[in-house]
Structure 1
């Protein structure tokens, strides 16, 4: 039973990690697009 619980915890941590990475990556992409838009429009 402990193996199942720890595996479940690892799975949750993996999803949370990927979610954080995805959010940071998305934020970086958005900031890059905003900066690029400012450069090309001014």
Structure 2
């Protein structure tokens, strides 16, 4: 039952890292936009 699949595991790892970095990048972008609005107004 408990079969180890290195390829599937690696793909899942890459996908999770991709999602995390995308969310992080999005948050940073939103922060920069907000900061720019605050400093330019």
With structure 1 as the length reference, what TM-score do the two structures score? 0.86
Partner residue, 1:12:
11
User: Which one has a larger percent helix, Structure 1 or Structure 2?
Assistant: 1
Q: Which runs of 5+ in 2 are unaligned?
A: none
TM-score, normalised with respect to structure 2: 0.88
Size of the aligned set, in residue pairs, is: 39
Please list every run of at least 4 consecutive aligned residues from structure 1 whose deviation after the TM superposition is greater than 3 angstroms.
none
Counterpart of 2:21 in structure 1 is: 22
